[in-house]
């Protein structure tokens, strides 16, 4: 997978566009943003979704980080070619 500037820019723009439409689920009164385990238990669907997204992100980063380079392609060399070892 090759990363180029246009793909990165498109990904960032899509993320910002989607994030602007995101809204918190019901239960957030005011601007208090504290988390504890009772919040995770109260919203198990959101918890599972967040863990799945984080797991997929970690897996994707791992696959990119440990990707082996592609094997060189074999090119046939004729008998009369000077590059061929004798």
Measured at the CA of 6, the angle between CA 19 and CA 1, to 5 degrees, comes to 95
In this predicted structure, what is the pLDDT of residue 23? 62
In this predicted structure, what is the pLDDT of residue 39? 76
Buried b (16+ CB within 10 A) or exposed e, 32-52: eeeeeeeeeeeeeeeeeeeee
In this predicted structure, what is the pLDDT of residue 20? 66
Structural tokens at position 65: 């980080």
pTM: 0.40
Q: What is the pLDDT along the chain (86 residues), one digit of tens a residue?
A: 556 777 778 888 888 777 667 665 555 555 555 556 787 788 889 889 989 999 999 999 988 888 877 777 777 777 777 776 65
Measured at the CA of 71, the angle between CA 70 and CA 76, to 5 degrees, comes to 135
- Look-up: residue for tokens 């988390």? 35
């Amino acid at each position: 997978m090759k990363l180029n500037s246009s793909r990165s820019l498109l990904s960032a723009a899509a993320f910002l566009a989607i994030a602007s439409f995101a809204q918190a689920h019901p239960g957030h009164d005011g601007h208090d943003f504290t988390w504890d385990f009772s919040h995770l238990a109260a919203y198990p669907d959101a918890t599972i979704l967040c863990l799945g997204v984080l797991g997929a992100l970690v897996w994707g980063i791992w696959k990119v980080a440990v990707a082996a380079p592609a094997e060189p392609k074999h090119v046939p060399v004729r008998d009369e070619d000077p590059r061929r070892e004798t």
